[in-house]
A and B are shown apart, each in its own frame.
Chain A
Amino acid sequence: AQKITQTQPGMFVQEKEAVTLDCTYDTSDQSYGLFWYKQPSSGEMIFLIYQGSYDEQNATEGRYSLNFQKARKSANLVISASQLGDSAMYFCAMREVYNTDKLIFGTGTRLQVFP
């Protein structure tokens, strides 16, 4: 069965430092997509970055990059130069191409950025 595992319930990072949020996944499908969403205290889910299973290069979006290691089934999110506004919950999610049109989420990691 498809599953997303986020083993870090909470992380702390100092402003301007980089931080890595871990995500591992389990699927038997060859075609899938991996996502990271940010949920600030306001509640909305904000899409950050996407990686397709056939993409050869790691996805990057501004200060966000996805460290995709297919053989290890990991899709870690790297935030460079952390800002105070990055403090939020971060969810990793997976979507299989052919089996379903839904996202499978992990339990999330709460990131706190301190000055």
Chain B
Amino acid sequence: EAGVTQFPSHSVIEKGQTVTLRCDPISGHDNLYWYRRVMGKEIKFLLHFVKESKQDESGMPNNRFLAERTGGTYSTLKVQPAELEDSGVYFCASSQDGGFDANTGELFFGEGSRLTVL
């Protein structure tokens, strides 16, 4: 079974340009999360989808970031226009069960998309 896949693995763009990151969760996982790690800092939550609905988007930094999950399958995260401080690694994760799993509560992560804004 395929894991969480993210594309592109690395994107280099200039300030002011637009970038769209894509995440394909594990098939059948209703919950999809985006996280971001800026160099040397902690990994921070951005938002959470349950199917196609945004359950929690409290971590989205500003309105230059737009996440969608049409049809409740793959998700995209668009940054427009990109700024220097947007550079970092964007992780996507998925899980089957919403809420807290008493056994592991495990999230399955992708390999991340590294964004470099020049």
- A residues with CB within 8 A of B: 4, 31, 33, 35, 37, 42-47, 50, 52, 91, 93, 95, 97, 100-108
- A residues near B110, Cβ cutoff 8 Å: 44
Choose among B3, B89, B105 the residue that contacts A35 (Cβ–Cβ < 8 A). B105
In the bound assembly, the distance between CA atoms of A52 and B45 in angstroms comes to 21
29 example contacts (A-B, Cβ-Cβ < 8 A) are as follows A4-B42, A33-B100, A35-B105, A44-B109, A44-B110, A44-B111, A44-B112, A45-B112, A47-B104, A47-B106, A50-B103, A50-B105, A93-B43, A95-B100, A95-B105, A97-B100, A101-B48, A101-B56, A102-B56, A102-B59, A103-B35, A103-B43, A103-B107, A105-B42, A105-B43, A105-B44, A107-B40, A107-B42, A108-B42
Nearest-CB residue, chain A, relative to B93: A45
Interface size on B, residues (CB 8 A): 33
**B residues within 8 A CB of A4?**
42
Kindly state whether residue B74 has any CB partner on chain A within 8 Å: no
Residues of B within 8 A of A106 (CB): 42
Does B81 count as interface, using CB distance less than 8 angstroms? no
Say how far A75's CB is from chain B's closest CB, in angstroms.
14
Instruction: Write the B19-34 contact mask toward A (1 if CB under 8 angstroms, else 0).
Output: 0000000000001010
Which chain A residue has the least Cβ–Cβ distance from B43?
Answer: A105
- The reply on B71 being an interface residue by CB < 8 A is no
Residue of B with least CB distance to A31: B100
Question: Using Cβ atoms and an 8 Å threshold, which residues of chain A touch B33?
Answer: 102
Q: How far is the CA of A47 from the CA of B104 in the complex (A)?
A: 9
* B98 part of interface (Cβ distance < 8 Å): yes
Distance between B90 CB and nearest chain A CB, rounded to angstroms? 11
CA distance A38 to B99 in the complex (A): 22
Question: B43 contacts A101, CB within 8 Å?
Answer: no
Tell me the complex Cα distance, A35–B100, Å: 13
